[in-house]
Amino acid sequence: MTKKIIAILFVLCAVMTFAFAQSIVESSTGRVIDNNPAPEPVPVDSLLDRALLQNPETLLEKFSYTLGYFIGPDYFYMYQYYYYPEALEYFGMLGAYDAELGTCLYTEEEMEKIIADYEDDYLYRLEHAAADNLAVAEAFLEENAKLENVNVTESGLQYIVVEQGTGPCPTFTDTVELDYQLMLLDGTVVDSSYVRGEHASFPLTQVIEGFSEGVQLMPVGSHYVFFIHPSLGYGESSMSSMGPNSLLIFEVETYAIL
């Protein structure tokens, strides 16, 4: 792989890292997202005879091929999971397969252009999705605030009290044991301790602003639902199942202050 191609992929990884949150709870941002492990790679030799395989046609297919060609099957899955969720497994494996065969569909200059064109296309779509999602979130919150059981804080955080606990309220510097489920407006469940079957523990200094503010309102033993504006959530950051400026719906039950 040439130094120029390495540099282009490195820059694009940086862009995608900003846009797609990694699957951990990051201590600097407190992003609570999907914790499922990355998929196991499919062996390259599982592909059929090369002449029978479909070549890439769209920009995304060409980008997936180029990525697989340069980094191989194992790293393709890692990059797909953390940086390029749109990357297509079939064409990534095809690129990796061609690299093993010592052949390639494109010249180095063509691959540089494919990577650059994909970055431009991705950033264009990200910008427009951010604007659209923000408008949807604000329209929803405007109507949601009119409901009788919805409370609104000074910051704009909206919440419903499902059950009020009797314990103390945590403070900003506390760590809280709780269950939570993060859902989007379309019903997509992004992350859930309920699904994992075990409680979570979060320092409230290391989670998103809306989540931290909301949990501090909850006496231990409470069950609340939060509606979090993007500015109190992940903002323009995104991941494969959550676009930029997504409105977040958190269901939370608190058990203890640790």
Please report, for the chain, the start and end positions of each structural domain, with discontinuous segments joined by +: 3-128, 147-257
Phi, psi of 100 (to 5 degrees): -70, -35
Cα distance between residue 58 and residue 90, in whole Å: 13
Residue-wise pLDDT tens digits, 42-73: 444 444 566 777 899 999 999 999 999 999 88
Q: What percent of the chain has pLDDT over 90?
A: 67
Query: How far apart are the C-alpha atoms of 231 and 111, rounded to whole Å?
Result: 37
Which residue's entry shows tokens 């659209």? 132
* CA gap 93, 75 in Å, rounded: 11
Give the DSSP H or E segment for 78.
Answer: helix 59-82
Q: How far is CA 155 from the centre of its chain?
A: 24
- pLDDT tens column, 63-104: 999 999 999 888 898 888 777 888 999 999 999 999 988 999
For 147-257, CATH number out of 3.30.365.10, 3.30.1600.10, 2.30.110.10, 3.10.50.40 equals: 3.10.50.40
For residue 188, pLDDT over 50 is answered with yes
209 CB-contact burial (10 Å; exposed 0-12 / middle 13-18 / buried 19+): middle
Tens-digit pLDDT profile for residues 106-116: 999 999 999 99
CA 40 to chain centre: 19
What is each CA distance from 28 to 97, 129, 170, 205, in whole angstroms?
A: 39, 25, 20, 9
Q: 3-class DSSP state for residue 174?
A: coil
Q: How confident is the model at residue 217 (pLDDT cuts 50, 70, 90)?
A: very high
pLDDT of residue 27: 32
Measuring CA to CA, how many Å separate 36 from each of 127, 130, 137, 199? 27, 25, 27, 16
Question: What pLDDT is stored for residue 85 in this prediction?
Answer: 80
